[in-house]
Structure 1
């Protein structure tokens, strides 16, 4: 049931090839690879992307969702914004609830 929900959500916008500007933030982060806040952000981002990939079955869809899909339950912020705001655990609970058929 969750797989259908996330796949439907991902299908709202077409996937496109990544561009250099898509990696601007990651390039900037890579300049301070030992910074604890950078490492925490990267770990949290990977946790969320992995959870979304497990549900959707497609890493490209999961990445697109993470960067672009506004989430109504979180005041239309994207998953990436929520991770930046330190709300990774809330986001992972939401993704888990989708998997269980709750929120989606």
Structure 2
């Protein structure tokens, strides 16, 4: 399996695992969207909490130029840390939700 295919599978596995987590409140469920052709991977929270509609991205990751760009990360542990645990080098992960000035100090790739 090539590197990009490995990255795809690891991202999908991690997001699929997160999608099984149940909410303690409201009628909310998680949904994954995997667009392998475009290398977009999204985990959404969808549902209702009392009279309030819930619809937001928990995680959005893209593979761009051979690196995993984390566009948003609403998880407790941090998807980047889970990717590293799964064997992806830090220099192949970009925390895109941080400005470049902050990325310089994260230990992950800048761009």
TM over 0.5: no
TM-score using structure 1 length: 0.32
**Higher normalized strand content (fraction of residues):** 2
Q: Structure 2 length normalisation: TM-score?
A: 0.31
Structure having the higher Rg: 2
The structure, 1 or 2, with the larger RCO (C-alpha pairs under 8 Å, 6+ apart) is: 1
